[in-house]
Structures are given as structure tokens and as C-alpha cells.
Amino acid sequence: MQRTDRGFSLIELLLTVAVAATLLAIGVPVLRDVNEGSKLAAAAREVERELQSARLRAVTMNRPLRVRLNCPAAGYYRTVEVLVTAADNAADRCLLGPYPYPPDNDVTTRPNNDGPVRVLPDGATVTTAILEFRPDGTSYQVVANVAQTIVAPLTITVTRNSKSKAMTVNGTGKIQYQQ
């Protein structure tokens, strides 16, 4: 009678499990880094899209708009209409109580073009700044309640878990996301 051995020995099984565990131990941190990077990139793209959208809306509506970053708190932002009144610099301009979204549709009252208060996803934060986009497509940085010409490109940084992504805005209104 002939005996045939089939299957794996205990040594072979242990070696296979050890190799699989080693690959898993190497792969999990790499996947975690990829996930963190994609969340940061998504937050940075969201800010870049808000800036692009505000510029486009300012041009198409023939009205200046401001994007207020970290308003009303860190990680929040809102696009608001420039009213050329004290309300433009009001500390509560990002609050929905005094400046609701959606605004009323009565053309005799303003603001009528304020956007919603948005929050950056996944605990990301952004540089505090106020950018103003004019109907001709140009951009200005608002400092101490005064719109100032952007001479050198302004860098806006989005940060999440000590990693950062940057974008620049120049005076002509060009917004460039650095990938």
C-alpha cells in the first residue's frame, strides 16, 4: 500500500502567515499616509474651488465678493457680497443670524449674494485671510478692513495633521493650486 502525503506542513503554514503579517505591517502605514494625503488634498481643493467660484460670480454678477477664511471660526469659510457699508467689516458677517443663507430675493435689500457658511472637512484648517474679487476679475487682500492690491502672490495654506498644501492668488485673480 502506497501512502501519499497531501497538504502543507506546519512549518510551511507558519512561514506563509509570517510573510502575510510582514506585508500587512508594511502596507497599513502606507495606506494610512495615502488616506491622510487624500483628505488634505480634498480640503485644499475645496478652498481653491470656493476662491475660483467667488471670482467667477463676481465677474458674472458684476458685484465685488469677498471670501472670508476662518470665519466665524477656524476651519470655516464664507463668500459674502461687498456692500460698501460697515457691514463689510462686521465681526458677525459670517453668522447666519444677521446674514442668513439663503438670503431673501428682494432686490431692494442687501446682501442678496452671500453664500453659506462652509466647514473644511476632516479637521483641516486654513490660513486666515479675506480676499476680495472685483467684477473685472482682479483680486485684493483685505487687511485692517482695507482692500489692498496683491503685489506678490498671496499664499493660502491648508493644513491637516501637520501636513500642508498651498495655493497662490495673484492680483490679476489667478488662483493656482500647488499639487
157 is written with which cell numbers?
495654506
Q: What is the mean pLDDT of the chain?
A: 88
* Confidence at 3, pLDDT banded by 50, 70, 90: low
Tell me which fold the domain 10-178 belongs to.
Answer: minor pseudopilin epsh fold (3.55.40)
Return phi, psi of residue 90, to 5°: -65, 140
- The better pLDDT of the pair 143, 96 is held by 143
Query: Could you give the CA distance from residue 154 to residue 103 in angstroms, rounded to a whole number?
Result: 30
Query: What pLDDT was estimated at residue 88?
Result: 85
Per-residue pLDDT at 108 exceeds 80 = no
Query: What pLDDT was estimated at residue 31?
Result: 67
Per-residue pLDDT at 96 exceeds 90 = no
- Model confidence over 60-81: pLDDT tens digits? 999 999 999 998 889 999 999 9
- Model confidence over 8-53: pLDDT tens digits? 788 888 889 888 888 888 877 766 776 788 889 999 999 999 999 9
**Complete edge-to-edge strand list for the sheet that includes strand 125-126:** 125-126, 154-160, 163-169, 175-178
- The better pLDDT of the pair 133, 36 is held by 133
